Amino acid sequence: MRLVLASSSVYRARLLHSAGHDVVVDPPQIDERALDPWFISRGADVLAVELARRKAAVVAERHQDEVVVAGDQVGVVRTGAGPVMLTKAATPDDACAQLERLSGTTHELVNGLVVRRGDVELTGIDVQRVTFRRLRADEIRAYVEQFAPFDTSGSYRLEDDDAPGRDDPFVTSVEGEDPSGVLGLPMPLLSRLLEELVRST
C-alpha cells in the first residue's frame, strides 16, 4: 500500500521508509498558527487532530484514490497558571527561551494522526511525556547554535541526544506507547488506523 505523507518532515518520512512503506511526500500549505486559540478553548487533543485533518484534506484533493497520512504535534507544558503551548521557534532567542521553560520539567507531546482515503477518514491521538534534566544556560545556547532546532515544537529533537560529542542527554525519560510518537508519527497508532482503513474501504 502506497502512502502519501502530508508533511515536509524528514523525520516522519524516515519513520515510514524504515517501516517498509512505499511513501510519496506531498507537503500541504496551511496556516498552522490560525488555530492557536483552540489550544485554550478546545484543548491540545482537539487542536492536534484538527490540524492533521486540514493537512490531510488539502493533500487528499491531489491524491483522491490513495491513502493520505497526516499528523500534527502540539507540545504542552503544565504550569501553575495553566497549560502553555510549545511552538516552533522563529529565532535562536525564542528557542533558548523554550528550552529554559522545559528545563527540569516534564512536558507532553500530543499527536493528532489522520489517515484518509476518499471520503473515509480515521483519526487518533497519541501522548508522550518527556522529562528533561535541569539545563544550564550555556549548554542551551550551545545546543541551539549547533543544531538549530527551529523545525520542531519545543525547540528540541530527541535524536540530537545521540549526536556525536553529546555525552549528557537533555532527556531523562520518555513515557508513551512508542518513541516514534516523540517524532510526531506514532507508528503503532498508525498501524492500527491503517488496518481499520483497509477494513472500512
Q: What is the pLDDT of residues 160-196, one digit of tens each?
A: 877 666 667 899 999 999 999 998 999 999 999 999 9
Give the E-state strand segments of 80-167 in sequence order: 82-86, 106-117, 120-132
Kindly tell me if the per-residue pLDDT of 136 is higher than 70.
yes
What CATH code is assigned to 2-200? 3.90.950.10
Mean pLDDT (whole number) for 68-72? 97
pTM: 0.91
How confident is the model at residue 164, as a pLDDT? 65
How confident is the model at residue 110, as a pLDDT? 97
Kindly tell me if the per-residue pLDDT of 7 is higher than 80.
yes
Set 72, 93, 151, 167: catalytic member: 72
How many whole angstroms separate alpha carbon 131 and alpha carbon 62? Answer: 39
167 is catalytic: no
How many whole angstroms separate alpha carbon 76 and alpha carbon 129? Answer: 10
What's the whole-number average pLDDT of the chain? 93
Residue 156 neighbours by CB under 8 Å, 6+ apart: 98, 99, 102, 149, 170
Domain boundaries, the chain: 2-200
**Better pLDDT: 129 or 168:** 129
